[in-house]
A = this chain, B = another copy of it.
Amino acid sequence: MRGAQGDLLRLIAGGHAESRAELARLSGLAASSVSLRVEELIGSGLLVEEGSVSSRGGRRPRRLRVSPTAGVLAVADLGGHHARLGLLDLSGTPLVVEERPCEIALGPEATLNWIAASFDDLLATHGPAGVPLRGIAIGLPGPVDPASGRVVSPSRMPGWNNFPVAEHFGAHYDLPVLVENDANLLAVGEARAWPGCETVLVLKAGSGIGCGVIVNGVLHRGRGAAGDISHVRVRSDSSVTCSCGHLDCLEAYASGAALMGVLAEQGIAVGRPSDVVALVDDGIPEATALVRNAGRLIGEVLTVLVNFINPDAIVVGGSLSKAEPLISAIRAAVYERCLPLATRDLEIAVTRSGPDAALLGAGILLLDAVLS
């Protein structure tokens, strides 16, 4: 996509602009130039005019949308034992989303081939006829080197270390392939639901603890592991060795897996982090106490980050986020301990954008790759 036109398309696709006038304001281009570009984009079938936006006192803007026939994106978000797969149109709107069981421990070859087959399946059954596939994005529950598209020493993905995921997919399709950490995708998707928040910290509390960081509106990747807080040392009386070999990592106390472990020791067998939430909802005191303690520990780690980066919002997602005591314990710790200037307008809240947030985030990032 040629530069200037790509920028305009991105603004429309990203939901930032809906009319020519808005495009002019946001792109910095003159209104006349915008009109020209938009005319070309409509001519080439990427954009369509569709009705009008309601006015507030003047001529109604004509609503611009990305054409549904311009292309589809195939996106996937992998967990340890399941995968969410979806097709999006170029505006990032889901056409279809499915969750299917999938064992990541089967290794990269088997898993990625299965994903490719599933994409083909989805495209055959739900892909609109004649609309081309434009790009692929995969979210993985481990650190990803953004430059090479490789997984780097993941803790819960046996056999994946250093596997060239992007390259592997590139052999199947001649398309942009984006590989990213799942918490990062979640962060990008979630951030879209928090307009006005420029710096956002998105926590994914599931069987592991992940975190994505949006600084000034853009995902901060660092060296690929940015946002990793699971192996931070926490203050505790006892002493637990984490899977990473260090003592007292946050993950060893506050992750869904850790909570399930403690519950199992107490004779309460649970299979998934969401079962822990169910126990809390049922008022089982052991579970509630555990979750509250996990929230406190997470909150104490967050105090450091809140003072350091001064986010506008902390958003908690992942299956454990549905446990109310977790959120309130996080809030209590952060508001009690952080600097007033840092907490003055800080929002700490549960995810707004539902279970597809990571897929939406994948669409947003992928769009940038496709339109460049």
A contact residues vs B (CB 8 Å cutoff): 143, 145, 152-153, 199, 211, 213, 215-216, 218, 220-229, 231-233, 235, 246, 300-301, 303-305, 307-311, 337, 339-342, 344-345
Contact = CB atoms under 8 A, between A and B. Distances in A.
Closest 6 A/B residue pairs (Cβ): A222-B310, A225-B341, A226-B310, A223-B310, A228-B307, A232-B304
A228 B143 CA distance: 27
Contacts of A215: 215-216, 220
B307 A304 contact: no
A341 B153 contact: yes
A73 B199 CA distance: 32
Contacts of A342: 222-223, 225, 228
Contact of A303 (B221, B222, B232): B232
Nearest to A234: B235
A300 B248 CA distance: 13
Q: Which of A213, A303, A307 has the most CB of B within 10 A?
A: A307
A307 B232 CA distance: 8
Contacts of A303: 232-233
Contacts of A228: 307-308, 339, 342
A299 to B, nearest CB: 11
A210 to B, nearest CB: 12
A222 B305 contact: no
A225 to B, nearest CB: 4
Contacts of A344: 223
28 contacts: A153-B341, A199-B222, A213-B308, A215-B215, A215-B216, A216-B218, A216-B220, A220-B309, A221-B310, A222-B309, A222-B310, A225-B307, A225-B310, A225-B341, A225-B342, A228-B342, A229-B308, A231-B337, A232-B304, A233-B235, A233-B300, A233-B303, A233-B337, A305-B305, A305-B308, A308-B308, A308-B309, A309-B309
Contact of A224 (B145, B199, B226, B341): B341
A130 to B, nearest CB: 37
Contact of A301 (B222, B235, B304): B304
Given A225-B342, A228-B342, 20 more contacts: A145-B341, A153-B340, A211-B308, A215-B215, A221-B310, A222-B342, A223-B341, A223-B342, A223-B345, A224-B310, A225-B339, A231-B337, A231-B339, A232-B303, A232-B307, A233-B303, A233-B337, A304-B304, A304-B305, A309-B309
Contacts of A231: 307, 337, 339
A14 B342 CA distance: 31
A143 B340 CA distance: 11
A337 B247 CA distance: 10
Contact of A341 (B143, B246, B304, B309): B143
A344 B145 CA distance: 12
A300 B304 CA distance: 11
Contacts of A222: 199, 309-311, 342
Contacts of A229: 304, 307-308
A341 B150 CA distance: 12
A308 B225 CA distance: 8
A247 to B, nearest CB: 10
A54 to B, nearest CB: 32
A295 B224 CA distance: 27
